[in-house]
A and B are shown apart, each in its own frame.
Chain A
Amino acid sequence: MVRLILQRLALLVPTLLGLSVLLFLWVRALPGGPATALLGERATPEAVERINSLYGFDKPLLEQYLTWIGQLLQGNFGTSTRTQVPVLEEFLDRFPATIELTLLALVFAVGIGIPLGYVAARHQGKALDHTTVVASLLGVTVPVFFLAFLLKFLFAVQLGWFPSAGRQSPSMVATHPTGFYVLDGLLTGEWDAAWDALLHLVLPAIALGSIPLAIIARITRASVIEVQSADYVRTARAKGLRPPRLRRRVVIRNAMLPVATTIGLQVGLLLSGAVLTETVFAFNGIGSFLAAAVFNLDYAVLQGFILFIAVVYALVNLAVDVSYGLIDPRMRVR
Chain B
Amino acid sequence: MRTVLRTTALAAVSALALTACVASDRDADGGETAGGGEGGGQDTFIFAASSDPASLDPAFANDGESFRVARQIFEGLVGTEPGTADPAPLLAESWEVSEDGLTYEFALKEGVTFHDGTPFDAEAVCFNFERWNNFTGVLQSESLSYYWQKVNGGFASSDVESLNGTGKYESCEASDELTAVITLASPLPEFISALSLPAFSMQSPTALEEYGADDVGGDEAAPVLPEYATAHPTGTGPYMFESWTRGQEVVLTANPDYWGEQGQIRRVVFPVIGDPTARRQALQAGDIDGYDLVGPADVVALEEAGFQIVNREPFNVLYLAMNQAVPELADVRVRQAIAHAVNKEALVAQTLPEGTEVATNFVPPSVAGWSEDVATYEYDPDRARQLLSDAGVPSLTIDFNYPTNVSRPYMPTPEQVFQSVAADLQEVGITVNPVPEPWSPEYLDRIQGTADHGLHLLGWTGDYNDTYNFIGVFFGQSSNEWGFDDPELFSMIGDARYQTSVEDQTAAYEAANEAIMERLPGVPLAHPVPSLAFKPSIKGYPASPVQDEVYNVITIED
Contacts and interface: CB of A to CB of B under 8 A. Distances in A.
A288 B50 CA distance: 12
A247 B5 CA distance: 13
Contact of B273 (A93, A115, A252, A282): A282
B108 interface: no
Interface residues of A, number: 64
A164 B285 contact: yes
Nearest to A31: B438
Given A152-B281, A153-B281, A282-B274, A199 B22 contact: yes
A284 B248 contact: yes
A149 interface: yes
Contacts of A94: 247
A164 B440 contact: no
Nearest to A282: B273
A174 to B, nearest CB: 10
A304 B285 CA distance: 35
A165 B223 CA distance: 31
Category for how many chain B residues contact A = 35 or more
A47 B449 CA distance: 13
Interface in A162-179: 162-171, 176
Contacts of B54: 83-84
B19 interface: yes
B52 interface: yes
B462 interface: no
A93 B269 contact: no
A289 interface: yes
Contacts of A47: 142
A159 interface: yes
B274 A292 contact: yes
Contacts of B448: 42
Nearest to B41: A171
Contacts of B12: 111-112
B440 A279 contact: no
B226 interface: no
Contacts of B30: 160
Contacts of A252: 1
Given A84-B143, A84-B225, A156-B37, A279 B52 contact: no
B8 A170 contact: no
Given A37-B440, A42-B473, A115-B8, A166 B273 contact: yes
Contacts of B223: 84
Among A94, A161, A163, A280, the most chain B Cβ lie within 10 Å of the Cβ of A161
Contact of B269 (A38, A119, A171): A171
A99 to B, nearest CB: 15
Contacts of A65: none
Nearest to A292: B274
Given A93-B246, A115-B8, A160-B37, A280 B449 contact: no
B247 A165 contact: no
Contacts of B26: 160
Contacts of B23: 159-162
Interface stretch (B81-89, B214-222, B257-265, B487-495): B214-222
A79 B222 contact: yes
Contacts, number: 166
B78 to A, nearest CB: 25
A305 to B, nearest CB: 13
Interface in B442-466: 442, 444, 448-449, 458, 460
B458 A170 contact: no
A165 B278 contact: yes
Contact of A282 (B38, B40, B224, B282): B282
A169 B271 CA distance: 9
Residue of A84, A86, A291 with highest tally of chain B CB at under 10 A: A84
Contacts of A162: 23
B284 interface: yes
A195 B142 CA distance: 44
A102 interface: no
B217 to A, nearest CB: 11
Given A170-B269, A170-B288, A157 B222 contact: no
Nearest to A202: B19
Interface string B18-46: 01101100110010000111101100101
Interface in B410-451: 438-442, 444, 448-449
A281 interface: yes
A25 to B, nearest CB: 19
A195 B26 CA distance: 13
Which of B23, B36, B251, B285 has the most C-beta atoms of chain A within 10 angstroms of its own C-beta? B285
Contacts of B11: 111
Interface string A45-79: 10110100011000000000000000000000001
Contacts of B20: 161
A167 B271 CA distance: 10
A154 to B, nearest CB: 11
A36 B441 contact: yes
A41 interface: yes
A93 B441 contact: no
Contact of B40 (A48, A167, A171): A171
B275 interface: yes
Nearest to B247: A284
Contacts of A163: 37-38, 285, 287
B249 interface: yes
A248 B275 contact: no
B449 to A, nearest CB: 6
A4 B285 CA distance: 51
Interface of B: 1-2, 4-5, 8-9, 11-12, 19-20, 22-23, 26-27, 30, 35-38, 40-41, 44, 46, 51-52, 54, 142-143, 218, 220-225, 245-249, 251, 269, 271-275, 277-279, 281-282, 284-288, 408, 438-442, 444, 448-449, 458, 460, 473
Given A38-B143, A93-B247, A195-B22, 5 more contacts: A33-B440, A33-B441, A55-B221, A157-B285, A171-B46
29 contacts: A31-B442, A32-B440, A33-B440, A33-B441, A36-B440, A38-B143, A42-B448, A55-B221, A84-B54, A84-B143, A94-B247, A111-B12, A115-B9, A156-B285, A157-B284, A158-B35, A160-B23, A161-B20, A163-B38, A163-B287, A164-B284, A165-B278, A170-B288, A171-B269, A199-B19, A279-B275, A282-B273, A291-B274, A292-B51
Q: Top 3 nearest A-B pairs by Cβ distance?
A: A160-B36, A79-B222, A164-B285
Interface of A: 31-33, 35-38, 41-43, 45, 47-48, 50, 54-55, 79, 83-86, 93-94, 111-112, 115, 118-119, 149, 152-153, 156-171, 176, 195, 199, 202, 244, 247-248, 252, 279-282, 284, 288-289, 291-292
